[in-house]
A and B are shown apart, each in its own frame.
Chain A
Amino acid sequence: DAKTTQPPSMDCAEGRAANLPCNHSTISGNEYVYWYRQIHSQGPQYIIHGLKNNETNEMASLIITEDRKSSTLILPHATLRDTAVYYCIVRVGGLQGGSEKLVFGKGTKLTVNP
């Protein structure tokens, strides 16, 4: 089961900031928070990840609360092309060697309106 809780849907006006919340109250001290998005019928696209500090890249910012029980993904100036399902994922049980598996929930369907 996914270790995160997200609202099923959100709306945002084009050009405004989109703030997508995520709760992960059972996160462990060494688990990262990842964000991916999936535009209709395409593969998920990596956005950003973080451990405890806030992170920013060319796509978005990630704000993680001090107790690490929740986080917010911020798209500073949403465009129509940002309409997608956004997944907040907590890395679950690192596999031996290899990479972590990702446990997806149902995500948040963000609709950016003109």
Chain B
Amino acid sequence: ETGVTQSPTHLIKTRGQQVTLRCSSQSGHNTVSWYQQALGQGPQFIFQYYREEENGRGNFPPRFSGLQFPNYSSELNVNALELDDSALYLCASSLGGRGRRTEAFFGQGTRLTVV
């Protein structure tokens, strides 16, 4: 167990809809990163939140957005869903910033299916 919790575990949405995925980070961690993993591929970096601000973004369109809350939990929002958005969405929690850093610990993921 990593102490990183994601919800929901599975989700089915219709093309064009919007979805919100949630992540509770491990206690003491201040950084949350989101990854998308298509079937048969390695995870791809979407963006990272550090101290409630976006801190780096991968090659994903603006309809992928996020939030980080004061307790360092995070949300991933995807608007105007497309069929290709079907994937496993992973959240990774870590302690970042200057000084001591930790490796990233992943949640179990949310399996999103867009039909």
Closest to B58 in A: A101
Out of A46, A49, A97, A103, name the residue touching B45 (CB < 8 Å).
Answer: A103
Determine if A41 and B88 form an interchain contact, defined as CB atoms under 8 angstroms apart.
yes
B-facing residues in A14-67 (Cβ within 8 Å): 34, 36, 41-46, 49
* CB neighbours of B101 from chain A (8 A): 99
Q: Does A2 contact B (CB under 8 A)?
A: yes
- A104-B43 contact in complex given A34-B103, A96-B55, A97-B55, C-beta closer than 8 Å: yes
Residues 1-42 of B, flagged 1 when their CB comes within 8 A of A and 0 if not, give 010100000000000000000000000000101010000011
B-facing residues in A82-104 (Cβ within 8 Å): 87, 95-99, 101-104
Closest to A49 in B: B103
Determine if A43 and B108 form an interchain contact, defined as CB atoms under 8 angstroms apart.
yes
Closest to B102 in A: A99
Determine if B33 and A87 form an interchain contact, defined as CB atoms under 8 angstroms apart.
no
Out of B4, B31, B109, name the residue touching A99 (CB < 8 Å).
Answer: B31
Out of B97, B103, B108, name the residue touching A97 (CB < 8 Å).
Answer: B97
Determine if A46 and B55 form an interchain contact, defined as CB atoms under 8 angstroms apart.
no
Closest to B108 in A: A43
Q: Closest Cβ of chain A: how far from B25's Cβ, in Å?
A: 11
The distance in angstroms between the C-alpha atoms of A103 and B58, with both chains bound, is: 10
Closest to A104 in B: B42
Q: Does A69 contact B (CB under 8 A)?
A: no
* CB neighbours of B44 from chain A (8 A): 104
The distance in angstroms between the C-alpha atoms of A104 and B88, with both chains bound, is: 14
Q: Closest Cβ of chain B: how far from A37's Cβ, in Å?
A: 11
Q: Does A77 contact B (CB under 8 A)?
A: no
Chain A residues with a Cβ under 8 A of chain B: 2, 34, 36, 41-46, 49, 87, 95-99, 101-107
A-B contact pairs, 17 of them (CB 8 A): A2-B42, A34-B103, A36-B106, A41-B88, A41-B109, A43-B90, A44-B43, A44-B92, A46-B103, A46-B106, A95-B50, A97-B51, A98-B55, A99-B50, A99-B102, A99-B104, A102-B45
